[in-house]
Amino acid sequence: MGKFRRVPVGIVGASGYGGVQLVRLLMDHPEVELVYLGDESSIGKSFGDLYPHLAHAANLPIEGVEPEIIAYRCEVVFLSLPNGLACQIAPKLLEKGCKVLDLSADYRFSDLTTYTNWYGTERSDRPIAATAVYGLPELYRDRIAEAQLVGCPGSYATASLLALSPLLKQGLIVPETAIIDAKSGTSSSGRQAQTNLLLAEADNSIAAFNVGRHRHTPEIEQICSDLAGHELMIQFTPHLIPMVRGILATVYATLRDPGLVRDDLITIFSAFYRNSPWVKICGSSVYPQTKWANGSNLCYIGLEVDPRTGRVIVMSAIDNLIKGQAGQAIQCLNLMMGWDETLGLPKLGFYP
C-alpha cells in the first residue's frame, strides 16, 4: 500500500503554446492530476477542439476564469497568460492557499518600477510581488522550494543566464563587456497571428527584432546584477530564424584572466552545474545545436576561448517551449512540492 492522492492542478491560459506544453507534460506527471483548464477566449470548447491530436488523452472542457472556483479545485495553478493578466488573478489564488507558477513577466521583477517602465502596466500588488521567487532552479533552487509564488523566466533569459551565471558568479569576466546574441524559432512569439510569422515572411530569412528594447533585457540585467554584486547593463539582441522551436544564445565577454583556456572553463562550468540535472556541459570543441534539446528540458552549453581577443564565447541551446517555458515551470513545481527535480520531465530530445 502506498500514497495515491495526486495533487490537483489547473492551467489558466491553456490554449497557447505554453498551455499545450503544460497539458502534455502534466498528463504524464506521476504526482499530479490535471483537473482544470481555463481560457476566457475558448469557454465551452473542449481541449480536443483546440488541439485535436490530444483529444484522446486530455479532452477536458475549457472553463471560465473564476479564481474562487479554481482555488477550490486546485492546489497548484499555472498562469500561462499574456503579460499584465496574471497579476490580476494570482493574489486571489494565493489568498486561498494555492501555489502559483506564473509563466508571464508579471512576477519576474523584484522592482515593479522596472516592470512598469518596460511593460507599461501600473501595478497595485507590490506586497504580493515582493514574495515572488525568480524561477530559475539552477540559481535559486532553495528559494523556489520555499515559495508560494514563482515567476518563471522568459525563454531568452533562461538560455542567456545559464550561459552567463558561472562567469559572473565566479568573477571570471569583465561584466560590462558581456554581449548576448540570441536566435529563436517562431514559437517564441506565441500562437497569435502575426504577419512576420507567416511562412512566406519568416522562411528563408533571418532578422533581428526589438533591438535594444526587448523585454527580456531588464530581466537578464536584474539577475546578472544580482550575480555580479552591482548594477549591470547587458547588450542583448534577439533574432527570429525560420524554425519552429529552439533558442541558441551566444554570449561574448572579456576574460579577467587572459590565461584561462577552454578546458579550464569546461571544468569551472561542470563544477558550477554539478547538481543541476538539466544542464549538460559539452566537451572540448563540441558546440551545441538547438535540435539536441528539441522536446526536452535540457540546456546544452558549449565553451570556447579566443586567445587572440581574450574573450570567452559561451553557446547555450534550449527548447524555448520546454526548458524556456512549460518544462521549467514544472521543474519549479517539483521543487515547491519536495519532489525530485526531474519528475515528469522529458530527459531526451526528439532527434533528428
CA distances from 316 to 36, 121, 155, 182, 286 (A): 35, 31, 12, 9, 12
- Residues of the chain under the 70 pLDDT cut: 1-4, 191, 193
With beta carbons less than 8 A apart as the criterion, state whether 152 and 135 touch.
Answer: yes
> How far is 141 from 213, CA to CA, in rounded Å?
29
Q: Which amino acid is at 256?
A: R
CA distances from 25 to 3, 38, 56, 330 (A): 21, 17, 15, 8
Sign of CA dihedral 313, 178, 131, 18: negative
Residues whose CB falls within 8 Å of the CB of residue 271, separated by 6 or more in sequence, listed in order: none
pLDDT of residue 2: 46
With beta carbons less than 8 A apart as the criterion, state whether 151 and 106 touch.
Answer: yes
DSSP 12-23: ESTTSHHHHHHH
Strands 299-306 and 279-281: parallel
With beta carbons less than 8 A apart as the criterion, state whether 98 and 76 touch.
Answer: yes
Q: Is 205 exposed, middle or buried (0-12, 13-18, 19+ CB in 10 A)?
A: exposed
> How far is 299 from 324, CA to CA, in rounded Å?
9
- Give the number of residues written for the chain: 352
> 527580456: which residue's cell?
216
pLDDT of residue 196: 73
**pLDDT tens-digit profile of 216-269?**
999 999 999 999 999 999 999 999 999 999 999 999 999 999 899 999 999 999
With beta carbons less than 8 A apart as the criterion, state whether 145 and 335 touch.
Answer: yes
With beta carbons less than 8 A apart as the criterion, state whether 43 and 62 touch.
Answer: yes
Residues whose CB falls within 8 Å of the CB of residue 63, separated by 6 or more in sequence, listed in order: 36, 37, 38, 43, 69
Residue 84 corresponds to which cell in the numbers above?
499584465
Q: What Rg value do the Cα atoms of the chain yield, rounded?
A: 20
pLDDT of residue 1: 39
Strands 235-240 and 207-208: antiparallel
